[in-house]
Amino acid sequence: MTSALLTIQNLTVRFGGLVALDDVSLDIAPRSIQAVIGPNGAGKSTLINVATGIYGATSGRVDYDGARIDGRAPHAISRLGIARTFQNTELFGEMSALENVMIGADRHMCGSYLSSAMHGPAYWRTEQAIRAEARRLLELVGLGNDTDVEAAALPFGKQRRLEIARALATRPRLLLLDEPAAGLRSAEIDELNSILLDLRANLGLTILVIDHVMALVMAISDHITVLNFGRKIAEGSPQEVRSSPEVIKAYLGEKAAHASHS
Ligand SMILES: Nc1ncnc2c1ncn2[C@@H]1O[C@H](COP(=O)(O)OP(=O)(O)O)[C@@H](O)[C@H]1O
Ligand SMILES: [Mg+2]
């Protein structure tokens, strides 16, 4: 499949004796919304961490837009057009929503507006452009009326969307979202779903969503890959995955484990 935007081939990641990912392969087609789901500890975040340069591969490889990227530095991968959010919210709480997004752009462009010592006309032009772009991104995630609100004062669901806007400030083609629905109520999940569909339509984005439960991804994913203990146990359409005996077993097993711990 040469047409995939991201290709993961036979990826294995070990931490000492622990195998976090075991020979996992998957393709992400351009402009698709795909999901990786699986119980806690399945290796989902590890997958994103390899694709963004935080972890290296023990074996196997990751290619993006025709070039091998595993083992490259995170900033280099970001420049190629891959952005992510983290499982745990990482915002600057005392800064406004707008400033949080502007910092996302600033980190990306090396001629940074915050660190620039020369506040000449070029600086102001850049600053104005970044501000306008940040406003547009906040509107795209439904935070157009919250630009001046401190990040910490936003309700949790909006904080998660602010993180997405910040990731978009690097102008990615591929957006990797690590459990964006965690902690959201079902109305907020519906809202997030429609935002992700809009982002694909308006920005031509390709999106990989990681989820622990199936609620978010079932409604919007073109293709789902299921991991359990680092292994791919199923993949296909939401309907195919939902009815897979392997998947049902993995999730029931997790429920049983939780029940026995409580
Ligand atoms: N940096 C690390 N060092 C050691 N073990 C790790 C590290 N990162 C992840 N793991 C382990 O790898 C496995 C998969 O973790 P992770 O990818 O975070 O799972 P998930 O995101 O699906 O919950 C877990 O057993 C986890 O403890
Ligand atoms: Mg995780």
> Which residue ranges make up each domain of the chain?
1-81+172-262, 92-171
Residue 85's pLDDT is 95
Which is more confidently placed, 32 or 3?
Answer: 32
E strand spans, the chain: 6-15, 18-28, 33-37, 59-64, 67-68, 82-85, 174-178, 206-211, 223-228, 231-236
Mean of the pLDDT values across residues 65-92? Answer: 94
Residue 149's pLDDT is 98
Q: What is the number of the ligand 1 atom nearest to the C-alpha of 43?
A: 17
How do residues 130-185 score in pLDDT, each as one tens digit?
999 999 999 999 999 999 999 999 999 999 999 999 999 999 999 999 999 998 99
Q: Which residue has the tokens 């306008």?
A: 132
Instruction: Decide if 163 contacts 90 (C-beta within 8 A).
Output: yes
Q: 118 CB under 6 A from ligand 1?
A: no
Q: 39 CB under 6 A from ligand 1?
A: no
Cα of 234 to ligand 2 centre, how many Å? 18
Mean of the pLDDT values across residues 216-228? Answer: 89
Q: Which amino acid is at 118?
A: M
Nearest CA to ligand 1 atom 1: 15
Q: What b/e string do you get for 227-258 counting C-beta neighbours within 10 Å, with b at 16 or more?
A: bbebbbbbbeebeebeebeebeebbeebeeee
HEC per residue, 241-259: HHCCHHHHHHHHHHHHHHH
> What is the C-alpha to C-alpha distance for residues 163 and 104, in angstroms, rounded to an integer?
9
Residue 90's pLDDT is 85
Q: Is the pLDDT of residue 192 over 50?
A: yes
The pTM for the full model equals 0.91
Q: Is the pLDDT of residue 199 over 90?
A: yes
Q: Is the pLDDT of residue 110 over 50?
A: no
Residue 107's pLDDT is 59
Cα of 56 to ligand 1 centre, how many Å? 13
Q: 46 CB under 6 A from ligand 1?
A: yes
Q: Is the pLDDT of residue 235 over 80?
A: yes
> What is the C-alpha to C-alpha distance for residues 76 and 82, in angstroms, rounded to an integer?
10
The whole-angstrom distance between residue 106's C-alpha and the CA centroid of its chain comes to: 19
> What is the C-alpha to C-alpha distance for residues 10 and 73, in angstroms, rounded to an integer?
21
Query: In what helix (H) or strand (E) does residue 177 lie, and over which residues does it extend?
Result: strand 174-178
Burial class (CB in 10 A: 0-12, 13-18, 19+), 110: exposed
DSSP 140: H
Residue 212's pLDDT is 83
How do residues 30-73 score in pLDDT, each as one tens digit?
999 999 999 999 999 999 999 999 999 999 999 999 999 999 99
Cα of 234 to ligand 1 centre, how many Å? 20
> What is the C-alpha to C-alpha distance for residues 164 and 83, in angstroms, rounded to an integer?
9
Q: 212 CB under 6 A from ligand 1?
A: no
At the second CATH level, the architecture of 1-81+172-262 is 3-Layer(aba) Sandwich (3.40)
Cα of 152 to ligand 2 centre, how many Å? 23
Residue 118 — pLDDT band, cuts 50, 70, 90?
A: low
Nearest CA to ligand 1 atom 12: 20
Residue 251 — pLDDT band, cuts 50, 70, 90?
A: confident
Q: 69 CB under 6 A from ligand 1?
A: no
How do residues 48-59 score in pLDDT, each as one tens digit?
999 999 999 999
Listed range (21-25, 45-49, 153-157, 248-252) with the worst mean pLDDT: 248-252
Cα of 121 to ligand 2 centre, how many Å? 44
Non-local (6+) Cβ contacts of 24 within 8 A are: 8, 10, 11, 12, 43, 47, 60, 227, 230, 231, 232
Q: What is the number of the ligand 1 atom nearest to the C-alpha of 49?
A: 17
Nearest CA to ligand 1 atom 25: 41
Residue 262 — pLDDT band, cuts 50, 70, 90?
A: very low
Residue 77, CB half-sphere, CA atoms under 13 Å: how many?
26
Mean of the pLDDT values across residues 219-224? Answer: 93
Residue 261's pLDDT is 56
Q: 50 CB under 6 A from ligand 1?
A: no
